[in-house]
A and B are shown apart, each in its own frame.
Chain A
Amino acid sequence: DAGVIQSPRHEVTEMGQEVTLRCKPISGHDYLFWYRQTMMRGLELLIYFNNNVPIDDSGMPEDRFSAKMPNASFSTLKIQPSEPRDSAVYFCASNWGGETQYFGPGTRLLVL
């Protein structure tokens, strides 16, 4: 299996622009998690899905952030409009049964 796939790997954008991050979980996994990692706040869970349904979005910072999972093999995290404080590495992870999580390589986002 190719593992969790994230795209793009790097994104540089200007403040106010819309940013869309993409994730393809490992085939057969029924849980998908979105995390954000920064030096100041460490690794934070933003939202997670089970069988394509959002279960807990309490970590989503504000209305500028939204996440969708239209099918079992694809999820997006959108930031609109983006701000410099959104600069971080965003990770997607997946698993089955909810225990050990398999992380993607991350998307490094820089908002200027």
Chain B
Amino acid sequence: SQQGEEDPQALSIQEGENATMNCSYKTSINNLQWYRQNSGRGLVHLILIRSNEREKHSGRLRVTLDTSKKSSSLLITASRAADTASYFCATRAMDSSYKLIFGSGTRLLVRP
């Protein structure tokens, strides 16, 4: 079963706008990761945020984590057509397992 639920399921924006995707999860986590999947391709890791971190940046990406609300958000600033893809959050539990549980994903369309 999926740990994370993502919101919205689909998002359509104009190039240059910011895109925000949200992820909620159910259990205590060690870390939370975001991945991108282009159509017909494998997933690509974007960023990892640990449970003791609240915000992290990587280029045009900004991730926040609120462990009290069990939620995270991914912000892509100044979006480009090449950002069109599905975005997934994935959580690693607090136990020693290295399992990642993936959310249902957000399909992002950036219109040129």
Contacts and interface: CB of A to CB of B under 8 A. Distances in A.
B43 to A, nearest CB: 4
Contacts of B100: 33, 45, 101
Interface string A32-63: 01000000011101001010000110000000
A91 B2 contact: no
Contacts of A93: 42-43
Interface stretch (A12-20, A66-74, A75-83, A102-110): A102-110
Interface string B85-103: 0001000100001111111
Contacts, number: 48
Nearest to B105: A42
Interface residues of B, number: 21
Contact of A91 (B42, B48, B92, B101): B42
Contact of B45 (A55, A91, A102): A102
Interface in B33-62: 33, 35, 41-45, 48
Interface residues of A, number: 22
A43 B103 CA distance: 8
